[in-house]
Amino acid sequence: MNKENITLMMVNDYPDYIDPREWKAALETRVPRLDFRLWPERGDPADIDIVMIDKGTSPGFFEGMTRLRAVAYLGAGIDGLLLDDLPAGAD
């Protein structure tokens, strides 16, 4: 079993109906070694394994996220997600 932390960064542009505190609490009960970050406090981007996002990304958003393994899109449709900006190997 992997003993490393799983670093998840949540981008929440809709705090009126997506409460990041609720997501954090619920995820921490299910993922024991979760390092939960809320954008724009991303820390070292090379640590990020998962991005949960509710809206589009700006150019360069994924820069430095060399460990990125998954992007969970919380909105309807992914038109705002710049797929060409995903790190190499994430396709």
pLDDT digits (tens, 9 = 90+) for 12-32: 877 677 788 999 999 999 998
CB 27 within 8 A of CB 44: no
Strand partners, 72: 52
CA atoms within 13 A on the CB side of 91: 5
Q: What is the DSSP letter of 81?
A: S
Tens-digit pLDDT profile for residues 57-87? 788 889 999 999 998 888 777 766 777 777 7
Is the bond into 40 cis (omega within 30 degrees of 0)?
yes
* Helical ranges in the chain per DSSP H: 20-30
Tokens for 19?
A: 């409460």
